[in-house]
Amino acid sequence: MLHSFWPVRIVAITALLGLGCGSSSPPEAMGGPVAMRRLTAAQYRQAIVDAFGPEIEIVGRFEPDNRREGLIAVGSAFVAVTPSGFEQYEAMGNYIAKQVVSEVHRDRLVPCQPRSRTEPDAACTEAFLQRIGPGLLRRPLVDGDVQTRVTAAAAATELMGDFYAGLEVAVTSLLIAPDFLFRVEVAEAGPGFADGLRLTDISLASRLSYLLWNAGPDAALLEVAARSGLSDPDSLGREVDRLLASSRLEDGVRAFFEDVFRFDEFEDIGKDPIRYPAYSAQVALDAREQTLRVVVDHLIARKAAYRDLFTTRRSFMTRALGPVYVVPVRAEEGWEALDFATDHPRAGLLSHASFNMLNAHSGRSSPTLRGVFLREALLCQKVPPAPADVDFSLFNEDDNPKYKTARDRLAVHSSNATCRNCHKLTDPIGLGLEVFDGIGRHRSTENGAPIDTSGDLDGRAFADSVDLGRAFRDSPLIGACLVENVYRYAVGRDPVKSERRLLRYLEGRFEDSGQRLHALLRDVVMSDGFRTATRPRRDPAVEEPAPRVAALPAEKEAT
Amino acid sequence: MRNHDVSALGLLAALALACDSATLGGSEVSITQPPVRGYVMARWSEMIPGVDPGECPEGINIVEADQYPEQWATFMAARQRIRAAGGYLRWDDERLPPDACQDPLSQPDPGFLTLDGPATVYGLDLDGVVSRRTGSSGATCAHDDFVDHDGATGIDNQFWRLMGCVRGYRPNDLVDRLQESNVSIKEASYAILLEITGMDDAQNDDEIEVQLLSAGAPVAMNAVDDVMAHVSITAHENPRYHNAAARGRIENGILTTEPVDLRIKVKQQTSDNEYWLRAARIRAEVGDDGRIKGVVGAYWDIANLFSVLNDQNIGDRPQGRNAANARGFMCAGIYHAMPRVADGHPDPETGQCTSISTAIVFEAVPAFVIRTQVAMAE
């Protein structure tokens, strides 16, 4: 068993050694296969805002996202559009198009007046398409994009006797185009890439922009890409720095952490009102936002070390969230900053209501769910799923007078050999958060019995939830996992074998930077892996995704 | 996502961190008790006592429709016609007698039945003596005291003498049902707040200060329709409703305060007013669950009481007559009855008492009272 996990042990060793030896020069690494990723709901909404402004309403249901290996960013390359989903996209697109060409918005959005309100006007239609098309399709328009839509718009105008009805058809057509609904990446051969391909500048612009802003490239970036400017590392670097310096970086960072933290699951969360009368939909909404605010404030505004997110006393609060945290909130509306006192039992991300309510059941906390989340999302460790025939009856009996605390009940449950192996991974750290109930309110007892939150994280003992945060802060896996997640999120897939050395290099650079997110993002997008791709799989020379358990030569050398 | 070997990593991590082992024990954590404890009222009601046999031997009070049946019949028929046509007939319409709820002297005194016998009620001994109408009433006007549910004597609650024979205030009738459903809290636009300063020990503390004040916002309700605890509520912007702090003490878990005048903002349904409760005292129990339950005993200024009962409006349309009819009294009658039962704050010149002793039962849950800069300066 240990053999199969050998590479990971090496990762840990290199992490513990500080990785300084790998930080000097970037390794050459060819990226994996390109992907065609469906826009997430947030990305779709942002595309509409960028193209038409925030006044345009978006009404409809999006196709459900697909989380794969922990990330929707990876799963989005493995989804299609179902027939009913297409109907939804068409209805949404049509409703958007109606608003865009309506009398309320047309003067602002349509750059020309038609010669006649009742007849086709190809020139005006083309001017309008040229204005909105590149932003929506994330590339310059080609003749086919324009001419087919000008023709369709003219036909609709003839039929309806209304120029703007024709424009509506043209806009709807753009909003259901595969090039809009999917981020289609294209790679090409190029000088210096004999063994693989490089992303086209246009594809690179999208990849870059979606990583840093969670939105398509702006006009400036598209302009640089259109003249092949991103092939030049200096020019690329300037654009990367521009995007990193923009306030829109917050959107990108939020989207990344929402994905890693699985915050899309807030859409389905529900709590027992009898057990948790303080819970409401607003509380859930604010809990989610609170965590994102802390992350953005810490990593972007303060440019602080990622590891310190696990111990920071800095937070933000609303009136709705105040009763969950039992703290006063002066601001009647909106958010206010808050620093928990040093003797307060809240410190770091792990004490946030968001994680603790999300990784819990509707009527009780769950050390196991919390432990699985911490292992998988924050330490990049895989916890096997529970067998289908596990008897949870005792554990669910949380009013059992004999086993008053979750620790008591789990001890009995885990005495079963089938359960023990997984629970020993999850429960010691999950039990460290038992002072937070199913919605993240602090408690010191359960059924009248004091809650013991001591435990150990892979050999590092901790005394309570605050100390658990310190253990996470000190874990060598925290930084390495973030690097891996950022990289996988950026390229939309698992790393291939040749990218392992690149990841080790990026980890070293991240540690050298003091775990600063800006530095990591810049290193990722400037890396070869981000900008290149392997040839299609049908090519015998293609590099398959790395088997997870295979040892790598470079890592063997590191031992 | 990598399939890390947790045990191997744990070993390495433990080795790497061995030098930090002195810090592994962690530290004790506790939530520091704030120097000022805030609460928000979750219940606030004029408690309706149970029925004692023979309490109202002469029956209960009549309403204006009983006193002026022909005019009311004419008015109600017209009102029905006009409503059917989509219109509205005001309660100060000339088909009815003059509106005594707006001008109590516009009608002759129709008389008013009060509860004259003994009864068991909630309340406090506000004047410090067991008063008798035929004997001494201390510094106040002559009245008979009640007995409390816990057996305490000398209970001053002339409000119940006033309202005890009003139909809507009888057990299980309108006001009782409204209070049971807690509308005075749930539908109030302004919550009522309480702060205790200097409470070192919730069981025994000989020096505390207690302040009642109005909030600038309503209570927040939780998922099971109870008042939410631990919310932050901003104090009312008008310092008029930040009452002076009363000195108090806690003995064996029972909190008591010295008298202090209270003005409490009331805005609920058709009422936009304030309570003026004079020489108010609190007797309450500080529970282990953080709640406080008790009684505010006070002298209710009779002019303010008449206004609170009857100055009710929807826009510029007076509703007092409608409300009095629903609750079961006549405004002219109660206006003249109030001085007869008043037992507090005698006028220095005439000796006529100007306030009525009352008792308000309350329950408060922990909250954070937020004061604005203006309020803090005040």
Q: What is the mean pLDDT of chain A?
A: 89
Go through chain A and tell me how many residues it has: 559
The verdict on residue B53 lying in a domain is yes
Given this model, what pLDDT does residue B16 score? 31
Of the candidates B9, B31, B228, which has its C-beta nearest A8's C-beta?
B9
Q: Which segments of A68-219 are extended strands (E)? A: 182-184, 187-188, 197-199
pLDDT at A506 over 60: yes
Report residue A559's pLDDT band, with 50, 70 and 90 as the boundaries: very low
For residue B13, name the pLDDT band (cuts at 50, 70, 90).
Answer: very low
Contact A32, A491 (CB under 8 A): yes
Least confident of A52-56, A400-404, B262-266: A400-404
pLDDT tens-digit map of B299-327 = 999 999 999 999 988 888 999 999 999 99
- Alpha carbons A271 and A441: distance in angstroms, whole number: 13
pLDDT > 70: percent of chain B: 88
What local confidence, expressed as pLDDT, does residue A320 receive?
Answer: 96
Number of residues in chain B: 378
Q: Interface pTM (ipTM) of the complex?
A: 0.82
Query: Does the CB of A551 have a partner CB in chain B at under 8 Å?
Result: no
Q: Do A332 and B16 touch (CB under 8 A)?
A: no
Q: Would you report the helix, strand and coil content of chain B in percent, each value rounded to 5?
A: 25, 30, 45
Q: What is the pLDDT of residues B158-179, one digit of tens each?
A: 999 999 999 999 989 999 898 8
Residue A19: the pLDDT is 40
pLDDT at A533 over 60: yes
Q: In terms of CA atoms, which chain B residue is nearest residue A273?
A: B223
Contact with chain A for residue B53, Cβ under 8 A: no
Nearest CA among A321, A347, A356 for reference residue B29: A347
CB contact under 8 A, B29 and A494: no
Q: Is A411 on the interface with B (CB under 8 A)?
A: no
Chain A contact set for B4 (CB, 8 A): 5, 8, 11-12, 379-382, 477
pLDDT at position A545 is: 53
Lowest mean pLDDT across A131-140, A385-394, A540-549, B38-47: A540-549
pLDDT at A410 over 70: yes
Provide the pLDDT confidence category of residue A381 given band limits of 50, 70 and 90. very high
Amino acid at A304: A
Share of chain A above pLDDT 70, in %: 89
Chain segment B83-142, per-residue pLDDT in tens: 999 999 998 899 999 999 999 999 999 999 999 888 888 899 998 888 877 765 556 787
Contact B232 A322 (CB under 8 A): yes
For residue B125, give the DSSP letter. Answer: -
Q: Taking the CA atoms of chain A, what radius of gyration do you get in angstroms? A: 26
pLDDT on residue B31: 40
Give the least confident one: A62-66, A282-286, B251-255.
A62-66
Q: What is the mean pLDDT of residues A155-167?
A: 97
* Rounded Cα gap, residues B324 and B78, in angstroms: 20
Average pLDDT score over residue span B6-21 = 32
Please give the tally of structural domains in chain B: 1
Q: What are the domain boundaries of chain A?
A: 38-184, 256-474
| B112: in domain | yes
Whether A330 has its CB under 8 Å from any CB of chain B: the answer is: yes
Q: Is the pLDDT of residue A406 over 60?
A: yes
Could you please report the per-residue DSSP string of A498-515? GGHHHHHHHHHHHHHTTS
Taking chain B, what is the end-to-end CA distance rounded to the nearest angstrom? 60
Helix crossing, A476-491 with A517-526: angle to 10°? 40
Q: How far apart are CA A356 and CA A354, in angstroms?
A: 6
B7: which chain A residues are within 8 Å (Cβ-Cβ)? 458
Which residues of chain A lie closer than 8 angstroms to B13, CB-CB? Answer: 12, 16, 457-460, 475-477
Nearest Cα to Cα of residue A132 among A149, A157, A119, A115: A149
* B28 → chain A, closest CA residue: A343
Best CA proximity match to B43, nearest among B361, B298, B268: B361
Task: Work out the average pLDDT over A188-193.
Answer: 76
Q: What is the mean pLDDT of residues A3-22?
A: 38
In single-letter form, the type of residue at position A277 comes to P
**Is residue B278, in this structure, part of any structural domain at all?**
yes
CA-closest candidate to residue A257, choices A286, A284, A296 = A296
Structural domain boundaries, residue B354: 36-66+99-377
Residue B76, in any domain of the structure = no
Using an 8 Å CB-CB cutoff, list chain A residues near B32.
341, 343-344
Q: Does pLDDT of B349 surpass 60?
A: yes
* CA within 13 Å, CB half, B134: 1
End-to-end CA distance of chain A: 19
Cα(B26)–Cα(B23) distance, rounded to whole angstroms?
6
Select from A172, A181, A174 the least CA-distant residue to A216. Answer: A181
